[in-house]
Structure 1
Amino acid sequence: MYKLTKASAVKARTQAVNQLKSVLITADPALREELAGLGNAELFRTCARFADASTREEDGEESVVQATRITLGLLAYRISQLSEQIRDVDARLTRLVECRALQLLDVVGIGPDVALLITVGDTPERLGSESFFAALCGVSPVERSSGRRQFRRLNRGGDRQANAALHRIVFTRLRVDSRTQDYFERRIKEGKTRREIVRCLKRYAAREVFHLVGQLQPGPRS
């Protein structure tokens, strides 16, 4: 339920941000100049103050400028409210993960994103081995050979939300984890493509997550 709430709030906030910037493109040149060069955070704070401006109606071009400022203010206020909702849901998700699987938060690249825990909880009977979990997350290698050429491609099946969570883990590690960066450089020198390396890293991440959450699951059925 929290994931559903967060996803809808993120989508609505993205839409509001896009609308605000679209309004700026067609705004009065003086207003554009007033807001030029501001980063997103400062831009939203500045525009939010427009919503407190007078709502009196004016004639001619002034009414258009006034309507534009009020619109920017309302959109900025909406962005602020949605951001607050997202932070609140994130805090609730963090508390849930801390109570259920605190060990996940100690691993580089894994945050309070419960997509993987949802996948585990929805289908515990299928998690008899790490290979089952990898297939469930869509990161198990798929053979695709032709003649003398033998290689593996990405698995496009499985739970796409869990796959996206593993994708975020890998790219976070590529930015901040020295071991992952060293591995990437070594495989590049071996002639592997970036896509092939990411596939391997997602498979390794799935193995790590499986062993971290394995203790939460009942033993495999006989």
Structure 2
Amino acid sequence: MDGTLVQNEVILGVDTHLDTHVGVVINDQGKVIGILTSIPTNRAGYLKLLTWARTLGNVRRAGVEGTGTYGAGLARLLREQGIEVWEVNRPDRAKRRLQGKSDSTDAESAARTVLSGNATATPKSQSGVAEALRMLSVVRRSAVKARTQTINQLRSLLISAPDD
């Protein structure tokens, strides 16, 4: 993005979880103009979130927590829809406890991080050769671990088994 102001631009911030996400939309002045407290973590839920956000203005940027985990599906859909997605770190736990933990507050913080320009990490695309190699590495590591556990169990049985 070249930094130019877009007419009626709003920024989406999302706090992600396993089963539901929370979305907050702020305007270019940082004012909260909408909160969607819970959407399911599936394509229909992601589309509902984006459709809702677009009713509040021109969505071109979004800050999403956990784009490599719980927010991966949402980040993928937003990019497909032409939205610039920024990875936003989860707020500091100690700070969150002092201010009071709230999913909508975390989502608002994500949007504000994008607005301020402090969001600098772009999510991984999770495709291509690098992702394929990562998946193979994960599977191999798991297979080696399972093999080692099996060998250890067999050795334990041999040691503790009766002589006959």
Superposition TM-score, scaled by structure 1 size: 0.19
Q: Whose strand fraction is larger, Structure 1's or Structure 2's? A: 2
Superposition TM-score, scaled by structure 2 size: 0.24
Q: Whose helix fraction is larger, Structure 1's or Structure 2's? A: 1
Which structure has more relative contact order (CA 8 Å, sep 6+)? It is 2
